[in-house]
Amino acid sequence: MMSTMKKQGKRKVASVMAGVLASSMLLTFPAGVSDAAAKEQPEIKAKNVIMLIPDGMAQDATALARWYNGGEMLALDEMASGLVRTYSADAAIADSAPAGTAFATGYKSHTGYVGVLPDQNTMPGLKPIAPGDAKRPVANLVEAAKLSNKATGIIATSEIMHATPADFSAHYPDRSNYDALSEQQVYAGIDVVLGGGAQYFTAAGRKDGEDLTAAIHRLGYNVVTDTAGLKAASNGKVWGMFANKAMDYDMDRDPAKQPSLAEMTSKAIEILSKDQDGFFLMVEGSKVDWAAHANDPIGIISDVNAFDKAVAEALAFAKKDGNTLVIASTDHMNGGLTIGDRETSNNYDELPLSTFIDPLKKAKVTGEGIEKLLNSDRSNIVQVMSESFGITDLTADEIAAIKATKAGSMNYTVGPIISKRAHIGWTSNGHTGGDVVLYSYGPGGKQLTGLVENTDLARYMESALGLNLASVTQQLFVPAEATFAAKGATVTWDRTDERNPVMVVTKGSDTLRLPVYKNTAILNDKTINLNGTIVFNGEKTFVPQTAIDLIR
């Protein structure tokens, strides 16, 4: 059970938030929710919600994994219930940042934008963005669940500040600004954070020079760095850092150093479910997407299977618990993966399953894993490709291509090599814009059905947990400069450390200091913890209403 101190603190925050009036500068939200679809769905109420996202997973990816496994059904299969539209605010093919923002906040956004509204809505059916609302932060499900006394967690096999996990924990209109995103994550008060990206929390790995690893320890997290450490964690706040950058593909990982996605999911559920108020957990199988970008079918199979094992953990808990909603959906498809290519155009219906699967079964590592097996001058290409990829008929051009591949891109070279032999087709090294499969399981076996918007999923989870995302947005993201000015205060900036600016608000004898991306305020030298982070979106600053209320 969560500590009494934590529970009292959470309830105090909820009580304060319930009494806070929203800023007079109300946010006008754009369209992005399919009301018709929402009304047709069964009413689902749940104590807990687990959302699982296999980033970039094409429909043929699950079929390929199924056949690779001998035809056995996936854990996902019994949850298949509908389709999800994946377009963003201004593009038919979505980037992960706005696609994840739709899942997390209920609003479509612009390419590269994390947890903020777009500059404009140009896709059919979307209302224009209200003047002044461009790039404005909007509340995510983790923030709303936290303010509703629930425990929260995020998991990813990428760097934890990568687009999708950042969508559920931070706000900035540039997914590549790891400094801004990761600092918000540290001060977001999330109970369980598991994934990669350790180097981006060190002073040496950041442009702002902040030692966020020390901050994570100071904030009371049990920091774990390997599988044994994760297994030993039993309660309290846990932060897992299992790789300097992204974690390895499941097929390539050292199980002693890096836990599987299923192990991370199981441990998060174990810890979060001790909170009597319930929990919200987001789990991302990040590198399904990376394998698809590289057209690497082995990476696809590796991490679709790893993701499916995580789904099995969530589904088993939900069935036993009886009060948990599980939703799974990819944010977009990627690569245009097909079982069959142009070489099978005239004989596709005559080819046995072995044509496609046998070449893949010979691989012992992914395309990324191959690179680690090659020696410094890559003179062992033929041997490695034979022993670890099962390919014994490399052409001179293929050997030359492998030898010339730059570091970190080997899967882009060997993925297509094995795809050709297995007749796995690809149309792109980028995302694609088709509808994706919706998987759902609610209390009593209830499911969401039909064709829905990606934004609808946020609304379904919001409704199931009894949350109010719009209210939380008003509570956490008040336009600071204009609102303080309306109270007769003066706003300036302390840029003594240009990399870590501090907003300074003065009125009468009171001086309020608000360091960007943190959840603390300093009022006349007294440090006060806020119930949200201070967000600068590159143009404007937004603060929790509780920070506004410190100036009388």
Write out pLDDT tens, residues 68-101. Answer: 999 999 999 999 999 999 999 999 999 999 999 9
Q: Choose among 216, 212, 251, 235: nearest CA to 411.
A: 251
Looking at the predicted structure, is the pLDDT value of residue 492 above 80? Answer: yes
Looking at the predicted structure, is the pLDDT value of residue 39 above 60? Answer: no
- In this predicted structure, what is the pLDDT of residue 40? 73
Q: What is the Cα 365 distance to its own chain's centre?
A: 25
Read off the tokens for 411.
């899967």
Read off the tokens for 157.
């096999």
Neighbours of 209 (CB within 10 A): 13
Average the pLDDT over 520-525 and give the result. Answer: 97
Residue-range domains of the chain with CATH: 4-10+44-337+429-476 (3.40.720.10), 356-423 (no CATH), 478-548 (3.30.457.10)
Q: Over pLDDT 70: what percentage of the chain?
A: 93
Band of pLDDT at residue 235, cut at 50, 70 and 90: confident
Average the pLDDT over 524-537 and give the result. Answer: 97
Band of pLDDT at residue 217, cut at 50, 70 and 90: very high
Active-site residues, by number, are: 96
Q: What is d(CA 429, CA 337) in angstroms, rounded to the nearest whole number?
A: 10
Task: Enumerate the H helices of 24-95 as residue ranges.
Answer: 35-40, 59-68
Looking at the predicted structure, is the pLDDT value of residue 46 above 60? Answer: yes
Q: Choose among 98, 92, 100, 97: nearest CA to 52.
A: 100
Neighbours of 513 (CB within 10 A): 17
The DSSP bridge partners found for residue 240 are 194, 224
Average the pLDDT over 187-205 and give the result. Answer: 98
- In this predicted structure, what is the pLDDT of residue 14? 40
Residues 6+ apart with CB under 8 A from 368: 248, 249, 252, 296, 299, 410, 411
Instruction: Choose the weakest-confidence range: 40-44, 104-108, 147-151, 323-327.
Output: 40-44
Read off the tokens for 196.
């990669």
Q: What is d(CA 169, CA 530) in angstroms, rounded to the nearest whole number?
A: 16
- In this predicted structure, what is the pLDDT of residue 32? 42
Average the pLDDT over 221-233 and give the result. Answer: 98
Q: What is the dihedral of CA 124, 126, 131, 134, to 10 degrees?
A: -90
Looking at the predicted structure, is the pLDDT value of residue 456 above 80? Answer: yes
Q: Over pLDDT 90: what percentage of the chain?
A: 92
Average the pLDDT over 321-327 and give the result. Answer: 98
Looking at the predicted structure, is the pLDDT value of residue 37 above 60? Answer: no
Looking at the predicted structure, is the pLDDT value of residue 149 above 90? Answer: yes
- In this predicted structure, what is the pLDDT of residue 30? 40
Looking at the predicted structure, is the pLDDT value of residue 476 above 90? Answer: yes
| SS3 per-residue string spanning 337-359 | CEEECHHHCCCCCCCCCHHHHHH
Looking at the predicted structure, is the pLDDT value of residue 36 above 70? Answer: no
Query: Which amino acid, residue 171?
Result: H
Longest alpha-carbon distance in the chain: 84
Task: Give the three-state DSSP class for 336.
Answer: coil
Q: Choose among 458, 546, 499: nearest CA to 140.
A: 458
Average the pLDDT over 204-217 and give the result. Answer: 97
Q: What is d(CA 360, CA 301) in angstroms, rounded to the nearest whole number?
A: 9
Residues 6+ apart with CB under 8 A from 537: 116, 135, 136, 137, 171, 172, 173
Q: What is d(CA 306, CA 342) in angstroms, rounded to the nearest whole number?
A: 30
Q: What is d(CA 168, CA 457) in angstroms, rounded to the nearest whole number?
A: 13
Q: Residue 213 — φ and ψ, nearest 5°?
A: -60, -45
Long-range residue pairs from 60-65, CB within 8 A, at least 24 positions apart, any chain: 60/337, 60/338, 60/339, 61/288, 61/292, 61/300, 61/304, 61/337, 62/304, 62/437, 63/339, 64/297, 64/300, 64/301, 64/304, 64/337, 64/339, 64/356, 64/424, 65/300, 65/301, 65/304, 65/305, 65/308
Looking at the predicted structure, is the pLDDT value of residue 27 above 80? Answer: no
SS3 helix, strand, coil % of the chain, rounded to 5? Answer: 40, 20, 45
pTM of the full predicted structure?
A: 0.94
Average pLDDT across the chain, whole number: 93
Average the pLDDT over 24-38 and give the result. Answer: 40
Read off the tokens for 91.
């593009």
In b/e form, how buried is each residue of 432-446, taking b as 16+ CB within 10 angstroms?
Answer: beeebbbbbbbbeeb
